[in-house]
A = this chain, B = another copy of it.
Amino acid sequence: MAGEEVVCGKVIKYDEVEATPVPREMATGTTIRWLISNEDGAKHFYMRLFEMEPGAHIKPHYHPWEHEIFILEGGGEVRIGDRVFKVEAGHVVFIPPNVEHEYKAGESGMKFLCIIPAAPTAEEVAEPLACK
């Protein structure tokens, strides 16, 4: 149909996608690659790959959408609310909307996938949800 693009998907190696530094106010020593986004025809959720240098830190934050995470390489610590988890390659992490979280890479660094929805999925809150 004229003017309508048939999107046929894509196949790419992750490191063909540019790694952009995460701004200093949000993280140290961390890059993000947007592996699948709206530019690829994805409309509902996006796949990103984060690479954290040894000792890098993604600072505490919260937002009205969830994270679905898979640790690919290395490891470190993930805090969800009041709980801190040691993670390594093969760990799966689900962080619900509006729960505060942060990440610290261990001495090998940490590489992980993080999938997010295309738009917020919860109401904004003035304070993060309590999670003990």
Contacts and interface: CB of A to CB of B under 8 A. Distances in A.
Interface in A80-132: 80-81, 83, 85, 87, 90-96, 99, 113, 115, 117, 121, 129-132
A2 interface: no
Interface stretch (A22-30, A39-47, A51-59): A39-47
Contact of A36 (B35, B87, B90, B92): B92
Given A6-B129, A70-B35, A81-B8, A13 B43 contact: no
A85 B131 CA distance: 44
The residue among A10, A11, A68 with the most chain B CB atoms within 10 A of its own CB is A11
A83 B80 CA distance: 42
